[in-house]
């Protein structure tokens, strides 16, 4: 017998529960978010690319503006498709900064001179500064100032166009004349007849007081000499810078020679040793004194010699060749006029524009 209300009285019927669309909605939302993110990323990348392209275009435009307005007019850069005169110049000169600096073919003398001055200045400042306490504090700084003046005048003299005369590469065989090199002209300068020689290398009739330098392979106006210690011709346009270098170098070596001798004397009185003892304990100062002494004699001789040449208005080449032995010097105007003419007259401009565009040879 079954009890009413028992569990067996009820039959369990299966009920189908509809599946919730939440999972599908979530997947759809993720896919849509992914599409939006990828679209946003692509837009950001495209916009960034456009910005970079725009910035690059502005930078290139600014670079071109700077080159056209400032760099090219002053010869700091040159167009790759343009051949400049210094690039095809037949002489032996070495050019820097696109033809703005003209140097000689051999830099060894210039490097040796520069190193000698720097080493002397360093030696004086490092080893003599400790013994200069009784003197004003400006002793070492003044030596540095002298060193800078010497080096600046040296660089200017060695990198300035000395007065190179343009060549006549278009001269024909008939204009060159006979091969024995006897073709000459004669001119009258202040009542004195001068012979003008013809240069078969440069194919020109050289002006008075000019000479062809075999080292630089150029005809140079008012040629004085080729200085091996500077590595450059000394002539019309850099002669004053050369004199400034020689005079300033003489003052510099006299200065360090005087204070180095004072240091040696003070050390000898303090220690009671002789020169042999100083050579053992202070060889740097003795070496500086010896080098300065030799430089003073050499530079002093140059200053006296060129002072004499200036007073009579001669060049070293003319004096060596005895050009005016049989006749008077037509360029001698008196001592004061000669000094004014050589030292105070404005320097002429260069006759060769090495930065100009080279003309094609015919």
Catalytic residues: 227
End-to-end CA distance of the chain: 138
CA distance 167 to 169: 6
The neighbour count for residue 236, using CB atoms within 10 Å, is 23
Closest CA to 351 of 168, 79, 97, 158: 168
Q: Is there a contact between 174 and 255 (Cβ–Cβ < 8 Å)?
A: no
Q: What are phi and psi of 96, to 5 degrees?
A: -130, 155
Chain centre to alpha carbon of residue 169: 29
- Please report, for residues 111, 245, 264, the alpha-carbon distance to residue 235 in angstroms, rounded to integers and kept in the order given: 21, 14, 41
């Amino acid at each position: 017998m079954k009890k009413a209300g028992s569990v067996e009285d009820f039959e369990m019927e299966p009920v189908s529960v509809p599946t919730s669309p939440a999972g599908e909605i979530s997947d759809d939302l993720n896919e849509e978010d992914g599409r939006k993110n990828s679209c946003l990323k692509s837009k950001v990348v495209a916009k960034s690319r456009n910005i970079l392209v725009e910035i690059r275009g502005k930078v290139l435009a600014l670079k071109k503006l700077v080159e056209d307005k400032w760099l090219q007019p002053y010869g700091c850069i040159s167009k790759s498709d343009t051949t400049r005169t210094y690039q095809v110049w037949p002489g032996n000169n070495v050019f820097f900064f696109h033809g703005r600096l003209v140097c000689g073919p051999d830099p060894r003398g210039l490097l040796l001179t520069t190193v000698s001055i720097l080493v002397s200045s360093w030696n004086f400042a490092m080893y003599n500064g400790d013994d200069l306490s009784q003197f004003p504090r400006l002793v070492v700084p003044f030596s540095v100032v002298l060193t800078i003046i010497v080096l600046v005048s040296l660089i200017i003299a060695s990198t300035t166009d000395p007065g190179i005369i343009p060549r006549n590469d278009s001269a024909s065989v008939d204009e060159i004349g006979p091969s024995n090199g006897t073709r000459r002209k004669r001119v009258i300068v202040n009542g004195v007849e001068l012979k003008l020689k013809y240069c078969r290398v440069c194919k020109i009739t050289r002006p008075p007081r000019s000479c062809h330098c075999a080292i630089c392979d150029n005809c140079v106006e008012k040629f004085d000499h080729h200085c091996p210690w500077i590595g450059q011709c000394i002539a019309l346009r850099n002669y004053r810078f050369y004199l400034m270098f020689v005079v300033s170098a003489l003052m510099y070596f006299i200065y360090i020679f005087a204070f180095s001798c004072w240091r040696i004397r003070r050390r000898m009185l303090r220690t009671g040793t002789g020169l042999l003892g100083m050579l053992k304990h202070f060889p740097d100062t003795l070496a500086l004194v010896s080098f300065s002494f030799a430089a003073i004699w050499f530079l002093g001789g140059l200053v006296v010699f060129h002072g004499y040449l200036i007073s009579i208005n001669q060049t070293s080449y003319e004096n060596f060749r005895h050009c005016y032995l049989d006749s008077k010097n037509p360029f001698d105007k008196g001592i004061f006029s000669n000094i004014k003419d050589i030292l105070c007259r404005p320097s002429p401009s260069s006759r060769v524009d090495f930065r100009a565009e080279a003309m094609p040879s015919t």
